Amino acid sequence: MVLKIQLQKSFQYSFVKDDRIMLILRYPEIFTLTSRAILGELRSLNKKSDPKYFDEVQISSQLSYDSKYHFVSEQLVSRACNPYSCHELPDNRIQVHKASQFCKVLQKFGSETFDIDVASECHDMKHCKNLGPFVHDWEITEGNNAMSNKFKLLITNLRCLPETNSPKTAKVSAVFRALSPSEDRFYSGSRTGLSGMTISAEGIWNSSTGNLCMVGCIGLENDADGCDSRICLYLPGTFSITQRNVLSGTISSIKETYVPLRFKKELRPLDIWNTYHDYCKSYLSYRFTRIEMLRAFMQKDNSYNLGMLITKIIHRFPGIEYNRNLTLLSSLSDELSFQVKALPHAIRNKTISKTFLSLEVLSLGHLFGRHWPFRREHTCQEEGKVPSFVAYDDQNILLNVSAQLTVTEKYFSHVAKVFLEGLYDASRGVMHTVGCREIHSQKFMDCLIEVKVQYSSKTTRWLINPTASVSITSLRNPEDQFYFSPINLKTVLIPYRDNSKEVKFRLNFEACFRIFVLLTSAACLLSQLYYVERNIDATPLISAVMLGIQLLGYGVPLVMDTPILFAWKEYLYPQSRSLHTGSTNKQFQFMMKLLLLIIFVLTLKLFQKVWDSRKISPKSLSLNRRPNDKKVLLFASMIHVTGFALFNVCHSILAGETELVTQLNKYWGMIQDCFLLPQIIGLMECKFKTKPLSKVYYIGFTVVRFVLRGYDYLRDPVFSVYFHTEDRAVSSQFLSKFENVGMMMILSFLAIIYHIQQQNFKTSI
């Protein structure tokens, strides 16, 4: 035989030839509760002085799942279960699974891990260090007692055999294995050895009580003294705000030699999609228990006002038109659920960063879980029937909803997990719920919590990406130890499956918007040309630098394939996830190019008039009555160079490093916004008796640039269906919301300064 030795330090293998090794295996004659172990030993036949000698190695395993199991331990089961009644559920109103398909349901939990609860009676460390009946080679001290909460319980080798004579009972056999935090679940699930961390169990399920009672034998014990554990297990069929376990159980001592160990399997919202989808639809239901609290919450928040009426008329929120359709309810459940980052509305603590916020809908209306129309499974729910717990009001249908709210941030650890139930009002896009959180230190549920979720309007999704606002409020007195300050969170973008309609609508809207802006610009230029025809003395006072900037702004898109007026705003994706938005309609493109050419020609004509007026003899027009374009260009350049430096520094501090070309593209748009700056500088050193610019011209162009910045402020980047939370909104020609607000303020300031400047000259004359 060849021994393969693994060196821990070098992680290399070395081989030693040794043919003096004996392996002994002892198989049981029949496969039962007390005779299921395969015992063996590995011995070295070498002398102790031989370097190849090793100490005896004990081996333990058990018969495989393919072996026939014999349920012959009735006496042990009767000793554990007959004189004893399993513990009742915390809430007597919770129903348990009593259907005849118990074995089919129980098999779904084979190879599943369960959470272990440290018993509330566990105060003395001497009684707690062994983790119930399980025996391990290290003790839980006060310093690491919290580690016991991280132990898991794994069920393997699960066998369930319905009784042929009595269909209301079933025999069950299984192995319970305790997993330490350092063990891998999948690796441990394949282990077959029996030790102090395993319990072999056998018992009977009775449909009259809905409980499965089993007797358990720790490790390799096979007598009455070693089989001292009683295992009670039940499958709740009714869920509530305080009962979210799909399986619960206890492991207790028949002789009361250790503290009972409780274990559970909490139904995660994700499980209703995959692991327990059929089970949820066929056997589970939800029971609402906080109706009075919810009614008081809604009456307090639903104060009628004009804004609410306008919201109902204009905006459309996530909802369904026919609440009896399970497919529509399932789709709405997905739309109301989200797992995104969020940020507090008012950040007082600067150390708080974006936290991950998850809201998973468990039931909606008369649908528990999810519904897949292309799957045919047995279900006890009827699609055409509306149960009594669906609430109605005079104007619309309010859907009952139960959900789970999870906040992953240390600062909000006191509300890390909140169970919710309440009503969703589709007319306002608001979900009113009451919540319960588990206080682990005190072993009770704090249910004096109100949670409100406000969804954004679907009407404006083409412009503003969907988000949600979540407010969490404690109803306790501030003096109460379990009181917490109100929490208000605002999520980032909540992506949804198909936004192609919104993308197409924005493409067409922005094309029409560009055409409207270009028409307005052409009207402003025509007004100025008409004005200079009637006021010849005003022509030389117009700044040529200002017109040169406008010529460049309109000429570059004609020559180069650059965006007209503003860029398309979308998230930056890797090439594999690029967003294919298509192109604007060719008719729209042609109209925009044609209007852009007309505006360029009109601006060029105005520039030609100004240039020709400067050639007039100084005798008829003194030099101090026209701007000095060289000085204007110099001063304007100095201002813009300084502004660009400040802009670049501020942007680098706030947004990090950015390419210089990108920064220049952004600042070029800001130069076009400041079109009045050269005109203001030029008029500071010249005298005139007439206004150089008409009100329609400078106010019109100011409004045009203001509207462009305002639209860029309102619109959000378009996202792809493959959106990831780390994707960034990047474009070469659009600014942040803060920068857009700043530019709108500068636009207004320049227009006011120019208006005051003209008024002052008129007064002095």
Place of tokens 């996530």: 318
- Strands (DSSP E) found in 8-112: 13-17, 21-26, 37-44, 57-62
553: Cβ contacts below 8 Å, ≥ 6 apart: 672
Which of 269-283, 379-393, 553-567, 662-676 shows the lowest per-residue confidence on average (mean pLDDT)? 379-393
Residue range 668-678, pLDDT digits in tens: 888 898 999 99
Q: Is 725 helix (H, G, I), strand (E, B) or coil?
A: coil
Q: Which residue has the higher pLDDT, 154 or 382?
A: 154
145: Cβ contacts below 8 Å, ≥ 6 apart: 118, 125, 128
Residue 550 scores a pLDDT above 80: yes
Q: Which bin fits 191, alpha (ψ -120 to 50), beta or left (φ > 0)? A: beta
Q: Of 125, 81, 102, whose CA–CA distance to 252 is shortest?
A: 81
Measured distance CA(56)–CA(676) in Å, rounded: 94
Among 61-75, 388-402, 514-528, 744-758, the range with the most confident prediction by mean pLDDT is 514-528
Q: Exposed, middle or buried: residue 378 (CB in 10 Å: 0-12, 13-18, 19+)?
A: exposed
Contact of 688 with 541, CB cutoff 8 Å: yes
Residue range 738-751, pLDDT digits in tens: 888 888 999 999 99
Q: Of 519, 673, 649, 669, whose CA–CA distance to 596 is shortest?
A: 519
Q: Is 331 helix (H, G, I), strand (E, B) or coil?
A: helix
Q: Is 622 helix (H, G, I), strand (E, B) or coil?
A: coil
> C-alpha angle 3/9/12, rounded to 5°?
45
Residue 37 scores a pLDDT above 70: yes
Q: Which bin fits 656, alpha (ψ -120 to 50), beta or left (φ > 0)? A: left
Residue 262 scores a pLDDT above 90: no
pLDDT band at 701, cuts 50/70/90?
very high
Measured distance CA(445)–CA(424) in Å, rounded: 24
- What pLDDT was estimated at residue 421? 93
pLDDT band at 405, cuts 50/70/90?
very high
Distance, C-alpha 605 to centroid of its chain:
56
- What pLDDT was estimated at residue 373? 65
- What pLDDT was estimated at residue 645? 86
Mean pLDDT of the chain: 79
- What pLDDT was estimated at residue 281? 67
pLDDT band at 149, cuts 50/70/90?
low
Residue 215 scores a pLDDT above 80: yes
pLDDT band at 629, cuts 50/70/90?
confident
- What pLDDT was estimated at residue 657? 56
Measured distance CA(108)–CA(95) in Å, rounded: 19
Distance, C-alpha 194 to centroid of its chain:
42
pLDDT band at 468, cuts 50/70/90?
very high
CB atoms within 10 A of CB 585: 13
Distance, C-alpha 88 to centroid of its chain:
37
Q: Of 143, 146, 155, whose CA–CA distance to 122 is shortest?
A: 146
Question: Where are the domain boundaries for CATH 2.40.128 in the chain?
Answer: 286-491
- Averaged over 633-638, what is the pLDDT? 89
Q: Is 176 helix (H, G, I), strand (E, B) or coil?
A: strand
DSSP state letters, 181-222: TTS-HHHHHT-----TTEEEEEEEEETTTTEEEEEEEETT--
- Averaged over 369-375, what is the pLDDT? 69
- Averaged over 236-244, what is the pLDDT? 86
What are the CA-CA distances from residue 456 to residues 257, 315, 363, 453, 463 (Å)? 57, 9, 21, 10, 12
Place of tokens 């204007």: 632
Lookup: tokens for 692: 């150089």
Among 327-341, 496-510, 621-635, the range with the most confident prediction by mean pLDDT is 327-341
Residue 145 scores a pLDDT above 50: no
- What pLDDT was estimated at residue 123? 46
Measured distance CA(641)–CA(556) in Å, rounded: 21
Lookup: tokens for 636: 């304007």
Q: Which residues of 626-650 are buried (b: 16+ CB within 10 A; e: fewer)?
A: bbebeebbebbeeebeebbeebbee
Q: Any idea of the CA torsion for 135, 141, 142, 147, to the nearest 10 degrees?
A: -60
Which of 224-233, 264-273, 525-534, 547-556 shows the lowest per-residue confidence on average (mean pLDDT)? 264-273
- What pLDDT was estimated at residue 571? 74
Measured distance CA(415)–CA(436) in Å, rounded: 9
Contact of 632 with 545, CB cutoff 8 Å: yes
Measured distance CA(383)–CA(373) in Å, rounded: 11
- Averaged over 183-201, what is the pLDDT? 83
293: Cβ contacts below 8 Å, ≥ 6 apart: 434
Residue 9 scores a pLDDT above 50: no
Q: What is the pTM of this model?
A: 0.78
Question: Is 286-491 in CATH node 2.40.128?
Answer: yes
Residue 694 scores a pLDDT above 70: yes
- What pLDDT was estimated at residue 764? 44
Residue range 310-322, pLDDT digits in tens: 777 788 888 887 6
Contact of 29 with 67, CB cutoff 8 Å: no
- What pLDDT was estimated at residue 653? 66
